[in-house]
Amino acid sequence: MKENQFIDKVVLVTGGASGIGFEIARAYANAMAKVIIADILPAKQEFAFDFIHADVSSAESISTLFIYIKTKYERLDILINNAGISIFTPFEELTVTIWDKIINTNLRSVFLCSQLAIPLMRKQGGKIINIASTRAIMSEEDTEAYSASKGGIVAITHALAISLSKYNIQVNCISPGWIETGQYKALSDIDHSQHPSGRVGKPADIARACLYLTSTENEFVNGTNLIVDGGMTIKMIYED
């Protein structure tokens, strides 16, 4: 990867205050980008991020966020649509309120943030990464709303890649598998060994994938869903 390529690039990471988003924000900050974190929670003070309180489930809040970016930076080079929530509810008990909360936070936010990014990217071009999930393509019980939101992200990613190519905006998504954002040391041997890669994922695995997909050299990986799951989704699971 070309050195110094992210210096002064303006990068927005939604949901960047903790977990995977924080590690993504840190990776771009380490690469000397100007990183904006938009979250409902305050960010750790570890780095000099530009933190803005924004609720991506609210169209109004997203609109305020993009007015702020336009006023302060006048451009956006990289958008990481990472904010997401997972609420798993028995399907029989899934309410419209919970469905709407998950879809609006995880999926509608991708539509709105990507649309508002266009005027800030069209002059110089840009890169959008949407964080989906392997649950877009495989399931446990009681995950309908979350899985639907992530399947929607995979679909909107390829649609956007086509629609935004005229503005030199590339759009890809990443589907993480099990990425441990809590106590990695507390994981068991079986947690790790069931993965063909021999370990559970870490937020840095996703951050590296973001850097790769948004690097200036990457023009040709476009509209794809990059699965980063230690090989779990290609593993046959028939029982003996």
Q: Which residues are catalytic?
A: 146
Output the smallest distance, CB 3 to ligand NAD, in A.
Answer: 28
Interface with ligand NAD includes 131 (CB under 6 A)? Answer: yes
Considering only the stretches 38-46, 64-72, 120-128, 185-193, report the one whose residues sit in contact with ligand NAD under the rule CB under 6 A: 38-46
Output the smallest distance, CB 218 to ligand NAD, in A.
Answer: 21
- Strand order of the β-sheet with 169-176 is 50-53, 34-39, 10-14, 78-81, 126-131, 169-176, 225-228
Output the smallest distance, CB 78 to ligand NAD, in A.
Answer: 16
Interface with ligand NAD includes 179 (CB under 6 A)? Answer: yes
Q: Residues 34, 78, 80, 105: which binds ligand NAD (CB under 6 A)?
A: 105
Listing DSSP states for 143-167 in one string gives -HHHHHHHHHHHHHHHHHHHHTGGG
Q: What are 114-117's contacts with CB under 8 Å, separation 24+?
A: 114/79, 114/81, 114/156, 114/160, 114/164, 114/171, 116/62, 116/63, 116/66, 117/12, 117/66, 117/76, 117/79, 117/169
Output the smallest distance, CB 135 to ligand NAD, in A.
Answer: 7
**169 contacts 121 by C-beta, under 8 angstroms:** yes
Interface with ligand NAD includes 19 (CB under 6 A)? Answer: yes
Interface with ligand NAD includes 17 (CB under 6 A)? Answer: yes
Token pair for 57: 């489930």
Name the residue among 161, 175, 158 with its Cα closest to residue 219.
Answer: 161
Question: Is the Cβ of residue 18 or residue 163 nearer to ligand NAD in the bound state?
Answer: 18
Interface with ligand NAD includes 172 (CB under 6 A)? Answer: no
Residues 211-240 that bind ligand NAD (CB under 6 A): none
Interface with ligand NAD includes 15 (CB under 6 A)? Answer: yes
Name the residue among 8, 2, 29 with its Cα closest to residue 207.
Answer: 29
Residues 44-83 that bind ligand NAD (CB under 6 A): 54-57, 82-83
Residues of this chain that interact with ligand NAD (CB under 6 A) are 14-15, 17-21, 39-41, 54-57, 82-86, 105, 131, 133, 176, 178-179, 181
